[in-house]
Amino acid sequence: MKGPHPFISLTKVGGQDPAVQRSWLEKELAASTAAWKIVVGHHPVHSVGPHGDSPELTRDLVPLLERYGVPVYLSGHDHSLQHLKVGSVHYLTSGAGSETVRVRPDGRTLFAAATSGFLAFRVTPDALTVDAVGADGRRLHTAQIPRPEPSVRSGARPGDPGVPGGGDGRSGEARGGAPLP
């Protein structure tokens, strides 16, 4: 992931070593200076669909998402529309382009629907707006997700050496020194 590009794709594929993928993802997140870090994977980490939560992704991925200030994890796989919030991360599932399956909302659920549709996004420097749109074009859910503060995006922690307030001095800049909007 070079420069300010906000998307990192993670796919669980048979025969691939999850430890290698996790290492790659951590390296990309640590090096990223993107104003927005959005991780995309096929399988949901958290889901109120029939597959439920993924214990492996919860164990291996959630700590990285939280440490590096990833506000959004986008997935498919479960054939429904979902918006869950667990900790500091919004888990969005847009797998409703096929036959839909039941959902069982719980306390983490901001929205869930067993209906055909898709998610649409608008990203500004300060917020990401997500709309869940039904197959009939009707907006079913809208949420605005604020961009994390630079010190959170960088993965720096308060008290890190040479980092006032926990920032890393690079956040908000693309590689090459060009400021992000």
Q: Classify residue 3 as left (phi > 0), alpha (psi -120 to 50) or beta.
A: left
Using pLDDT thresholds of 50, 70 and 90, give the confidence band for residue 171.
very low
Distances (CA, A) of 93 to 20, 88, 105, 120, 155: 25, 16, 13, 12, 25
Instruction: Look at residue 45 and tell me if it is in a domain.
Output: yes
Please answer whether residues 81 and 97 qualify as being in contact, where contact means their C-beta atoms are separated by less than 8 angstroms.
no
Which among 130, 93, 131, 143 is positioned nearest to 114, based on CA atoms?
93
- Alpha-carbon distance 153 to 148, whole Å? 6
CATH of the domain at 75: 3.60.21.10
Instruction: Look at residue 174 and tell me if it is in a domain.
Output: no
Instruction: Look at residue 178 and tell me if it is in a domain.
Output: no
Length of the chain in terms of residues written: 181
pLDDT at 9: 56
Instruction: Look at residue 177 and tell me if it is in a domain.
Output: no
Active-site pick, 43, 46, 51, 77: 51
Q: How does pLDDT run across 7-23, given as a tens digit for each residue?
A: 555 555 566 788 888 99
Is a pLDDT exceeding 90 seen at residue 162? no
Structural domain that includes position 158 = 7-166
Which helix (H) or strand (E) segment holds residue 111: the answer is: strand 109-113
Instruction: Look at residue 179 and tell me if it is in a domain.
Output: no
Distances (CA, A) of 141 to 6, 51, 57, 172: 23, 22, 26, 30
Q: Comparing 152 with 96, which gets the higher pLDDT?
A: 96
Say whether 77 is catalytic. Answer: no
- Alpha-carbon distance 39 to 29, whole Å? 9
C-alpha angle 161-166-167 in degrees, rounded to nearest 5: 100
28's tokens:
């990309």
Instruction: Look at residue 181 and tell me if it is in a domain.
Output: no
Please answer whether residues 164 and 175 qualify as being in contact, where contact means their C-beta atoms are separated by less than 8 angstroms.
no
- Alpha-carbon distance 112 to 93, whole Å? 9
Instruction: Look at residue 132 and tell me if it is in a domain.
Output: yes
Instruction: Look at residue 175 and tell me if it is in a domain.
Output: no
What are the DSSP calls for 34-97, one per residue? -S--EEEESS-SS-SSTT---HHHHHHTHHHHHHTT--EEEE-SSSSEEEEEETTEEEEEE-TT
The domain total for the chain is 1
Q: What is the mean pLDDT of residues 30-44?
A: 92
Using pLDDT thresholds of 50, 70 and 90, give the confidence band for residue 52.
very high
Using pLDDT thresholds of 50, 70 and 90, give the confidence band for residue 137.
very high
Share of the chain above pLDDT 70, in %: 75
